[in-house]
């Protein structure tokens, strides 16, 4: 899928034109206008061969800045893996493993993920996983992550997973109506990875997000965060968090919303972790659908790089907080250059 705005030529009658030929020429213009409108007037990105020497040098500088920023952020995450909230390290780092093109970096990530001796690498499961109170607890998602971690590293998990699955199945009619749309998208991904039957279809979630985007007065920026997060999570979940690229056709009508929000975020400034998170998720989502860079995306990425802390992290405050871990992981997603083929997951059950 190539996103571009095509030039539209005017119609003028030439000597020898027949009515039929005029109709054919008019039809070409109609089609060209349709292509232009469907692309939502996104500016065409020039191929590298057509750039000036200064522009090629600028592209090289930007690439180098991205590589340095992503590398420093990843180093911070790896160095502080034991300080992350319980259970966070395996899945944030595994997603970065999929997106890196460097074998040496991938090997270091694998070593850190496999070395799960630190208590922080695990989330402590509640004693009674069948307690309905679990469905009202913010820890439910962490429980699902821990079950997936155990599955990935070859630890016993089936008995505990079955208890949670039955709880969700028996209480689903009361539980799912209370779950926000973005969270439903993430739950669907967890169900898929655990091999459970999902209570809703991905296509239905795409339809709901599309309707949400069309039914509101779209302004862009922070006030549209619920819908923005729903769009980016759809793309991330369909791509299984950097396991594969995503067909852009499904999201063609949503891309203008993402670009509008990037523009508004830059005008308002990336003032905090939340604005940084949504900008980074938009850039990562655009990369997964292979949307070409333009002046806007490059400007947002420069702002993200400029917001990097001296120690390589992103976010506010001192120490290794949940906000800084999340902001840093997403900023690395936004700054790293995805390879032509995403890396497959390592077999974590095999110890090196």
Contact 342, 243 (CB under 8 A): yes
pLDDT band of residue 16 (cuts 50, 70, 90) is very low
Residue 47 neighbours by CB distance under 10 Å: 8
Does residue 215 surpass a pLDDT of 80? no
Taking the C-alpha atoms of residue 243 and residue 237, their distance in angstroms, rounded to an integer, is 10
Per the structure block, which two tokens stand in for 94?
Answer: 């595994």
% residues pLDDT > 70 (the chain): 80
User: First vs last Cα of the chain: how many Å apart?
Assistant: 41
With CA atoms as reference, report the closest residue to 304 among 322, 283, 286, 325. 283
With CA atoms as reference, report the closest residue to 241 among 196, 192, 301, 274. 192
Q: What are phi and psi of 257, to 5 degrees?
A: -65, -40
pLDDT of residue 247: 96
Compute the average pLDDT of residues 265-289: 88
Per the structure block, which two tokens stand in for 103?
Answer: 């074998």
Does residue 14 surpass a pLDDT of 60? no
Q: Tokens 């997951």, residue?
A: 345
pLDDT of residue 287: 97
Q: What angle do CA 183, 230, 88 make, to 5 degrees?
A: 50
pLDDT band of residue 41 (cuts 50, 70, 90) is very low
pLDDT band of residue 261 (cuts 50, 70, 90) is confident
Give the predicted TM-score (pTM) of the model.
0.81
In sequence order, the 6+-apart residues with CB closer than 8 A to the CB of 65 are: 302, 305
Tens-digit pLDDT profile for residues 176-198:
999 999 999 999 999 999 999 99
pLDDT band of residue 114 (cuts 50, 70, 90) is confident
Q: Backbone dihedral region of 90: left (phi > 0), alpha (psi from -120 to 50 degrees) or beta?
A: alpha
Per the structure block, which two tokens stand in for 137?
Answer: 């607890």
HEC profile for 271-335? CCHHHHHHHHHHHHHHHHCCCCCCHHHHHHHHHHHHCCCCCCCCCCCCCCCHHHHHHHHHHHHHH
pLDDT of residue 20: 42
Mean pLDDT (the chain) is 82
Per the structure block, which two tokens stand in for 303?
Answer: 């702002």
Helices marked H in the chain: 19-38, 53-79, 88-99, 103-114, 140-153, 158-175, 181-194, 202-214, 225-238, 255-268, 273-288, 295-306, 322-335
pLDDT band of residue 220 (cuts 50, 70, 90) is low
Quote the DSSP letter at residue 42.
Answer: P
Tens-digit pLDDT profile for residues 22-35:
334 433 333 333 33
Taking the C-alpha atoms of residue 187 and residue 194, their distance in angstroms, rounded to an integer, is 11
Tens-digit pLDDT profile for residues 317-342:
889 999 999 999 999 999 999 999 99
Does residue 262 surpass a pLDDT of 50? yes
In sequence order, the 6+-apart residues with CB closer than 8 A to the CB of 83 are: 120, 319, 320
Chain centre to alpha carbon of residue 25: 42
């Amino acid at each position: 899928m190539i996103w571009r705005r095509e030039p539209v030529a005017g119609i003028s009658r030439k000597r020898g034109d027949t009515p039929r030929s005029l109709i054919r020429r008019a039809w070409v213009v109609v089609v060209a206008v349709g292509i232009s409108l469907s692309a939502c007037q996104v500016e065409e990105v020039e191929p590298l061969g057509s750039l000036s020497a200064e522009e090629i040098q600028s592209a090289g500088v930007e690439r180098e800045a991205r590589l340095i920023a992503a590398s420093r952020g990843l180093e911070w995450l790896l160095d502080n893996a034991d300080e992350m909230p319980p259970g966070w390290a395996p899945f944030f780092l595994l997603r970065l493993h999929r997106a890196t093109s460097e074998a040496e970096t991938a090997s270091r990530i694998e070593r850190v993920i496999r070395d799960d001796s630190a208590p922080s690498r695990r989330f402590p499961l509640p004693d009674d996983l069948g307690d309905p109170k679990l469905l009202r607890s913010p820890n439910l998602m962490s429980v699902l992550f821990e079950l997936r971690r155990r599955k990935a590293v070859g630890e016993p998990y089936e008995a505990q997973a079955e208890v949670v699955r039955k709880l969700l199945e028996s209480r689903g009619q009361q539980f799912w109506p209370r779950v926000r749309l973005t969270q439903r998208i993430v739950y669907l991904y967890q169900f898929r990875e655990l091999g459970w039957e999902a209570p809703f279809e991905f296509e239905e979630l795409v339809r709901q997000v599309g309707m949400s985007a069309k039914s509101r007065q779209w302004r862009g920026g922070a006030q549209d965060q619920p819908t923005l997060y729903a769009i980016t999570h759809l793309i991330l979940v369909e791509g299984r968090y950097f396991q594969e690229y995503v067909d852009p056709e499904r999201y063609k009508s949503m891309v203008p919303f993402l670009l509008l929000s990037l523009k508004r975020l830059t005008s308002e400034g990336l003032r905090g972790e939340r604005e940084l998170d949504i900008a980074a998720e938009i850039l990562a989502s655009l990369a997964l659908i292979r949307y070409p860079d333009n002046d806007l995306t490059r400007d947002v990425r420069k702002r993200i790089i400029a917001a990097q802390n001296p120690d390589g992290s992103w976010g506010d405050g001192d120490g290794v907080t949940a906000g800084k871990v999340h902001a840093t992981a997403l900023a690395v997603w936004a700054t790293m250059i995805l390879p032509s083929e995403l890396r497959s997951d390592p077999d974590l059950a095999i110890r090196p």
